[in-house]
Amino acid sequence: MDTLFIVLNIILLLLLCFGLYTMQKKGVSFSKRVFSALGIGIVFGLGLQFIYGSGSEVLSGSIDWFNIVGSGYVKFLQMIVMPLVFISIIAAFTRLTLKSNIGKISALIIGILIGTTAVAAAVGIGTTLVFDLEAIEIEQGEAETVRGEQMEQRAGDLASKTFPQQMLDFIPSNVFLDFTGARSTSTIAVVIFAAFIGIAYLGVRRKNPEQAESFSKIVDTFYTIIMRVVTLILRLTPYGVLALMTRVTATSDYGAIAKLGQFVAASYVALAIVFGIHLILLAVAGLNPLTYVRKAIPVLSFAFTSRTSAGALPLNIKTQTKEFGVSDGIANFAGSFGLSIGQNGCAGVYPAMLAVMIAPTVGINPLDPSFLFMLIVIVAISSFGVAGVGGGATFAAILVLSAMDLPIALAGLLISVEPLIDMGRTAVNVSGSMTAGVLTSKVTNDLDTSVFNSKASTDMELDV
């Protein structure tokens, strides 16, 4: 009987996917289809949990099949991340889109990412104090205890490395290993390697123009093919969002969410404020924040449902270049750096909130100015090297709590609401990297404002 219900649920998902396909054939815009998939996934997931119960075998079996669509889509995106980063940065040099400003561009992007992360930490601190959150008030069950022990063990592994040693991890010693994404800093390592090749190309072009021209044509050919692959994968976004959102709402522990509702609410208030700061920065730069929101909705929706900044990178870069008028070079630098540096949600808001919540348990006054100042500084510094995949927030929390001499195990108390909060954090991470790209382009007079102010073009690009 269970098998029959699982098959029925699979058929229902396929019918919903067919409905989204029909919307595409009727010319419904890409962003509307993504938003529709998000809403349908929420309703479908809630319905499944209501009918079968969160712990039923029917639900777990159904979700296992749904993951072929949802997790499969994320894997396709992750598959293309390293090739996209590598070839796009080299293409930025061969097309001279970065010219001689690579140092200035890199400094601006990193500066904006780190600066907004420091601001995000301050927002997280303020929100925690306003909501009067303390870790001691949270009940600790078996799952929380196990999670805390895991975090302590991981902290022990990290403690063996000094900050300079952690910085060395950015430098690739085996680029083929980094192309597999084996390390948390693999993306930055590939960026550095691609930048070296780009700089070498500029040197060859001065001495051997013919060889440089041949290399440039090869790069353009590969770039065109990779971008075509990206377009093919991004066409699957509505279906991936539908399956991912269904899984999230069908498997969430709403009892635990209700118990920790105040922390969840505080987290989303803080994340909303940080997103608002992104919009204020764009407005100060003379750009319409509402235009940004309208065009960013598809990528932010995917980031929200998938909980992976790395998986969102292709859509992130496509949005920056096709919707906001950012050049390929700056878009790829901003997107790539944003995966491991200055993630506003995971590395800014979250660890700052945890530190303020945990501080009273060891007799530290969270209102002490010196404590708050050191916390913001440490959060900003620790935001280097945070992986853009699942677990990045935990990694950032461990670094910050260790540096502040706070008990790490208490961070495990929030395991039951981690997935729900991580959705918002990931969306804010991606928004931060896109904001860095747009602002850097604006500062360097590289932004095509006619593209930024135009109507969305992604619909046409993805439906070709």
Q: What are the structural domain ranges in the chain?
A: 2-462
Predicted TM-score (pTM) of the model is 0.79
Strand partners, 341: 384
User: Among residues 406, 346, 404, 407, which one has the least CA distance to residue 370?
Assistant: 404
Instruction: Count other C-beta atoms under 10 Å from residue 128's C-beta.
Output: 24
How far apart CA 337 and CA 217 sit, in angstroms, is 26
Give me Rg for the CA atoms of the chain: 22
- The pLDDT value recorded for residue 413 is 64
How far apart CA 208 and CA 233 sit, in angstroms, is 38
- The pLDDT value recorded for residue 416 is 64
- The pLDDT value recorded for residue 146 is 56
How far apart CA 56 and CA 49 sit, in angstroms, is 9
Which helix (DSSP H) or strand (DSSP E) does residue 328 occupy?
Answer: helix 328-340
C-alpha pair distances (Å), 158 with each of 36, 380, 403, 459: 42, 18, 11, 44
- The pLDDT value recorded for residue 460 is 41
- The pLDDT value recorded for residue 137 is 56
Burial, 355: exposed, middle or buried (Cβ in 10 Å; 0-12, 13-18, 19+)? Answer: buried
Opening angle at CA 336, ends 335 and 340, nearest 5: 110
- The pLDDT value recorded for residue 19 is 94
State the helix-helix crossing angle for 392-403 and 369-382, rounded to 10 degrees.
140
Instruction: Count other C-beta atoms under 10 Å from residue 152's C-beta.
Output: 16
Strand partners, 384: 341
Residue 394: half-sphere exposure toward Cβ, Cα within 13 Å? 22
For residue 5, which amino acid is it?
A: F
- Mean pLDDT of residues grouped by 10 in the chain (464 residues)? 87 94 88 86 91 86 92 86 84 68 84 93 93 70 54 54 69 85 77 88 88 91 88 87 88 73 89 96 94 91 81 86 88 83 86 89 86 90 63 72 78 70 90 95 90 69 45
Burial, 116: exposed, middle or buried (Cβ in 10 Å; 0-12, 13-18, 19+)? Answer: buried
Cα diameter, the chain: 73
For residue 2, which amino acid is it?
A: D
The SS3 assignment for 383 reads: coil
User: Among residues 250, 231, 205, which one has the least CA distance to residue 315?
Assistant: 231
User: Among residues 331, 328, 437, 436, which one has the least CA distance to residue 97?
Assistant: 328
Q: Which fold has domain 2-462?
A: Proton glutamate symport protein (1.10.3860)
Cβ pair 198, 93 in contact under 8 A: yes
How far apart CA 312 and CA 7 sit, in angstroms, is 30
How far apart CA 106 and CA 46 sit, in angstroms, is 44
How far apart CA 122 and CA 128 sit, in angstroms, is 10
Buried residues in 388-408 as b, exposed as e (16+ CB within 10 A): bbbebbbbbbbbbbbbbebeb
| Structure tokens belonging to residue 340 | 């491991």
Q: What are the helix (H) ranges across 132-252?
A: 142-159, 163-168, 175-179, 186-207, 209-234, 237-251
| Structure tokens belonging to residue 60 | 């777990």
How far apart CA 136 and CA 133 sit, in angstroms, is 9
